Amino acid sequence: MSGGAGPQSAGKFITLEGGEGAGKSTQIRLLSNALERAGQEAVTTREPGGAPGAEIIRSLLVEGAVDRWQPMTEALLHFAARVEHVQATIMPALAAGRWVISDRFSDSTVAYQGYGHDLGQSDMAALHKLVLGEFQPDLTVILDIPVEDGLARAGHRETAEGEGEDRYERMGNDFHSRLRDGFLDIARRNPERCAVLDAAGTPEKVHAEILDLVEIRLGRVLT
Ligand X SMILES: Nc1ncnc2c1ncn2[C@@H]1O[C@H](COP(=O)(O)OP(=O)(O)O)[C@@H](O)[C@H]1O
Q: Which helix (H) or strand (E) holds 18?
A: strand 13-18
Q: How far apart are CA 164 and CA 195, in angstroms?
A: 31
> Residue 43 half-sphere exposure, CB side, CA atoms within 13 Å?
22
The region of 15-23, 36-44, 48-56, 180-188 touching ligand X under the rule CB under 6 A is: 15-23
Q: Which is nearer to ligand X, 157 or 193 (CB)?
A: 157
Please count the other Cβ atoms lying within 10 Å of the Cβ belonging to residue 15. Answer: 26
User: Which of ligand X, Mg ion, none interacts with 206 (beta carbon under 5 to 8 A by kind)?
Assistant: ligand X
Regarding 25 and contact with Mg ion (CB under 5 A), the answer is yes
Regarding 87 and contact with Mg ion (CB under 5 A), the answer is no
Please count the other Cβ atoms lying within 10 Å of the Cβ belonging to residue 3. Answer: 7
**Which residues from 164-223 bind ligand X, rule CB under 6 A?**
201-203, 206
User: Which of Mg ion, ligand X, none interacts with 154 (beta carbon under 5 to 8 A by kind)?
Assistant: ligand X
User: Which of ligand X, Mg ion, none interacts with 157 (beta carbon under 5 to 8 A by kind)?
Assistant: ligand X
Whether omega before 48 lies within 30 degrees of 0, making that bond cis, reads yes
Closest to 14 (Cα-Cα) out of 59, 111, 62, 34: 34
Query: Reduced to 3 states, what is the DSSP secondary structure of residue 103?
Result: strand
Q: How far is the CB of 158 from ligand X (least distance, A)?
A: 6
Q: How far is the CB of 151 from ligand X (least distance, A)?
A: 10
Q: How far is the CB of 104 from ligand X (least distance, A)?
A: 9
Q: Which helix (H) or strand (E) holds 178?
A: helix 173-189
| Chain positions contacting ligand X, by CB under 6 A | 18, 20-26, 153-154, 156-158, 201-203, 206
Residues at the interface with Mg ion (CB under 5 A) = 24-25
